[in-house]
Amino acid sequence: MTATIAPARPPGRPRRRIATAIGVLLLLGGLAVMGYFAWQYIGTNVVAKHKQAQIKAETLRQWDKGVEGDAIAMLRVKRFGKDYEVPIVKGFDKGALARGVGWDTKSAKPGEIGNFAIAGHRVTHGEPFSKFPKLKKGDLVVVETRRNIYTYRLRNSGTSITVSFTTPWPLWRVPDPAARNRKPTERLITMLTCSELFHTNNRSVVIGELVKTYDKKQRTTATN
């Protein structure tokens, strides 16, 4: 009886399979990373801008009915573009900043004595503060509520003040590192955003003072 000898496996086949599996995993991993960045830097902007438009439209309808809206105010900054108008919503959390510019509810309300503090993204989620570094000293920032239109004049540029995220004074009642616990006497606005486009531990700060108030009902203007 003649013994049958099994044919030898071609050398290197297991290695090719392993190499192919690794290649597939690397490809899938690369696609996942690309998908993540595409969502973060494109997808979130599309979704957020659509949501902001909805909030803006609904708020204006509510104002026409004489009631407060989903947004506390509308923000207009000529330096950001002649058609720039973004809703200001309550909160500094991720959800709020995805819906517009966020307002620190512990700070003053628009037009009040104290520090009206707001923040927005430079990239992702509608990037309402994408042009923040272009802000110049003397620029006007307009905040419109149901009853009034407030105009603030900036005291500094968008690149002149950079602080870490843990620095508290921009949210104080008097946004000044030398004014801890000082009683406010001015009507100010503080705007904050990330100082760099991507990962950063710092934020840029601009501060403005109220220079004009327009009463929409009375149609009168007061100069501060």
The two beta strands, 101-103 and 114-119, are antiparallel
Question: What is the distance, to the nearest Å, from the Cα of residue 28 to the centroid of all Cα atoms in its chain?
Answer: 31
Q: Which token pair is 97?
A: 């900043």
Catalytic residue (choose from 50, 121, 125, 199): 121
121 catalytic per annotation: yes
Give the pLDDT score at 50.
84
Sign of torsion over alpha carbons 51, 57, 62, 66 = positive
Give the pLDDT score at 10.
54
Give the pLDDT score at 38.
42
Catalytic residue (choose from 50, 125, 194, 199): 194
194 catalytic per annotation: yes
* One CATH from 2.40.260.10, 3.40.50.300, 3.40.640.10, 3.30.1330.30 for 37-223: 2.40.260.10
* Domains of the chain by residue range: 37-223
207 neighbors 154 (Cβ within 8 angstroms): yes
Give the pLDDT score at 106.
97
Give the mean pLDDT per block of 10 residues along the chain (224 residues): 52 62 54 44 66 93 94 97 96 91 98 98 84 97 98 98 96 96 97 83 96 95 90
Helix (H, G, I), strand (E, B) or coil at 68: coil
